[in-house]
Structure 1
């Protein structure tokens, strides 16, 4: 669905949010050499992911939150 680079950047965005950092600040964008096109892809992907989560039944939301929490615990 996403190319390897966008997938990696989405993972880094998730990690930044988990650490209460802003992944869309100039420093992060420059450090990761994010182009304007990639930024549009990333913000569109985050928006779609959130829309899908919010549109999902409550049981699915609970499952997704559980999986997300488990995945973030392996991150360290």
Structure 2
């Protein structure tokens, strides 16, 4: 089944709003920290990253997958130490 243009645009809009909210929450949680993360910070960050990557399975749309991938890369660049393995 294919989404028509209006449905795809609405889905994209909702998805972008969720990503924006998510980034704002990360900024609030880590308050611009760039180092000295606690063990709890690392645990939360990895749980968040896991949840976001699970989102890929919920969207079969390549455009949304691209947006999610771009978002995850931006977050990892913003907090590189936090998301190290």
Instruction: Indicate the structure whose relative CO is greater, using CA pairs within 8 Å and at least 6 residues apart.
Output: 2
- The alignment's TM-score, normalised by the length of structure 2, stands at 0.40
Query: Normalising by structure 1, what TM-score?
Result: 0.44
Find the structure with the greater CA-based Rg.
Answer: 2
